[in-house]
């Protein structure tokens, strides 16, 4: 210590250290300035709009670049959409396309919600396949009617379709004629991978599947997962502008022929209405190609009249989301 007159004083370095410590305490304890407490003049703090996009496979969306939606929200896709575009989440409800999706490895990449998707321990496989049949007899027919992915070291599987014993019985009673009609999709098995992200729809529907079509089921899953402010219905044409089925994947595997007539729209209409009714604070926006009422695809839905949170827009709306 340096000595001045009869008192001892700290050295210069010690004085500097004490001063710095006091300065730091003052800075931490000080009351925030007005600029820190309030936004600058004209500056507005906005709540970010949370959006989800439910992509159907109606032909109105043909040519639209779905990729540009990623920056604006989460994309939920239906059925075979993965063949041309990988959404953030996918949903399917028909057994054929469900197992196609799983065999393609989609559930290794993104959350995948499927109907009646019950995972069974691998040890039960033989018993479920054989169903009491003689093993040698069963193996004569199994390759004709079974579609499955590689088993590997899977500990679980999911199975849908007819029983092998029932198929064999039909072959015996109806001979080669029935045998030729069998497609390799009668029994469907998916062995569950290590990277599995698949779920049953009942996992998000309070243990009870509503039996809805894929579009509204995807909407239900999206609302459960995201709690969005806006739900955009893209490619949900509901009707057809011709006397033929309206679907981008018609005449492909697991889809009806392009020569089929339109699918009745009433169930889809009622399911979306119910979802909107259950969620009155969420805005449901049906995107139409033209939105000018020129036909049923591009006009308002009669059954949705009076439902204030169900509105319509055209594709230009999607170009201006920013």
- The two tokens of residue 167 are 């198929």
> Around 110, how many Cα atoms within 13 Å sit in the side-chain half-sphere?
19
Looking at the predicted structure, is the pLDDT value of residue 40 above 60? Answer: no
pLDDT band at 29 (very low <50, low <70, confident <90, very high): very low
Q: Tens digit of pLDDT for each residue in 48-94? A: 789 999 999 999 999 999 999 999 999 999 999 999 999 999 999 99
Strand boundaries in 166-278, DSSP class E:
187-191, 198-200, 230-234
Contact 91, 205 (CB under 8 A): no
Name the 3-class secondary structure at 170: helix
- The two tokens of residue 196 are 């599995």
Q: Is the pTM of this model over 0.75?
A: yes
Residue with tokens 């919600």: 113
Contact 61, 55 (CB under 8 A): yes
**172-176, 201-205, 227-231, 273-277: lowest mean pLDDT where?**
172-176
pLDDT band at 135 (very low <50, low <70, confident <90, very high): confident
């Amino acid at each position: 210590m340096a000595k001045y007159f009869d008192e001892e004083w700290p050295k210069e370095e010690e004085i500097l250290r004490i001063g710095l410590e006091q300065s730091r305490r003052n800075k931490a304890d000080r009351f925030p300035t007005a600029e820190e407490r309030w936004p600058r003049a004209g500056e507005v703090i906005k709540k970010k709009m949370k959006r989800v996009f439910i992509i159907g496979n109606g032909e109105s969306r043909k040519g639209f670049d779905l990729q540009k939606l990623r920056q604006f929200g989460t994309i939920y896709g239906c059925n075979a959409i993965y063949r041309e575009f990988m959404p953030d989440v996918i949903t399917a409800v028909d057994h054929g396309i469900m197992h196609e999706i799983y065999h393609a490895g989609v559930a290794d990449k993104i959350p995948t919600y499927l109907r009646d998707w019950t995972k069974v321990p691998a040890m039960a496989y033989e018993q479920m396949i054989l169903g009491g049949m003689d093993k040698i007899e069963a193996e004569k027919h199994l390759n004709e009617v079974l579609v499955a992915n590689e088993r590997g070291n899977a500990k679980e599987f999911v199975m849908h379709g007819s029983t092998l014993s029932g198929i064999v019985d039909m072959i015996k009673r109806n001979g080669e004629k029935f045998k030729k009609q069998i497609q390799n999709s009668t029994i469907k098995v998916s062995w569950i991978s290590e990277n599995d992200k698949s779920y049953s729809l009942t996992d998000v529907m309070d243990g009870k599947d509503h039996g809805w079509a894929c579009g509204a089921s995807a909407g239900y899953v999206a609302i459960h997962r995201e709690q969005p402010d806006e739900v955009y219905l893209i490619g949900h044409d509901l009707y057809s502008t011709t006397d033929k089925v309206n679907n981008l994947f018609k005449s492909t595997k697991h889809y009806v022929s392009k020569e089929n007539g339109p699918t009745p729209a009433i169930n889809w209409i009622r399911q979306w209405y119910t979802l909107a009714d259950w969620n009155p604070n969420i805005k449901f926006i049906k995107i139409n190609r033209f939105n000018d009422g020129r036909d049923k695809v591009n006009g308002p839905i009669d059954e949705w009249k009076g439902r204030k949170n169900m509105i319509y827009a055209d594709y230009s709306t999607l170009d201006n989301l920013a």
